[in-house]
Amino acid sequence: MKTQKTEFLSFNDGITDVFSVDNIAPPGNKPKKGLIAKFSGLRFEYKTIGVKRAYTAMQADVKLSELIQVPMHREISTQDVATINGRQYEIVQAQHFPDTNPASSVLSLSRLEVNYDIAGIP
């Protein structure tokens, strides 16, 4: 039986933080949506946004800004926000690949027009 040789992924392009969106207002105050840290310091590798992926996103009225690959965390979902170099991106799609070396998640990102406040940062 022939074994498939998989390329080792390095994640050398930068560091991203992943946040969940939740109420960050102090108790008793009017609710305010903001970001709460979920995963910080995730190394990533930029990927090329393919033509098929770009056109499929455009059909859904979404403009993809970045495509990154990170070590796999199945808890990352489309309800989360990723930051790269201080810019905030909505996670439009999260695909998890357990058969890569190491297991990885590919995140399709769309730049947010208005940034959320981050909990704990004034």
CA distance 38 to 97: 20
Helix and strand totals (H; E) in the chain = 1, 7
Evaluate whether 72 touches 97 at the Cβ level (below 8 Å). Answer: yes
**Residue 120 three-state SS:** coil
Count other C-beta atoms under 10 Å from residue 70's C-beta.
22
pLDDT band at 20 (very low <50, low <70, confident <90, very high): very high
14-118 is classed CATH 2.10.25.10: no
Q: What is the pLDDT of residues 90-109, one digit of tens each?
A: 999 999 999 988 999 999 99
**More confident site: 12 or 5:** 12
Q: What is the pLDDT of residues 25-79, one digit of tens each?
A: 889 999 999 999 999 999 999 999 989 888 888 888 888 999 999 999 999 999 9
Q: What is the pLDDT of residues 111-120, one digit of tens each?
A: 999 999 988 7
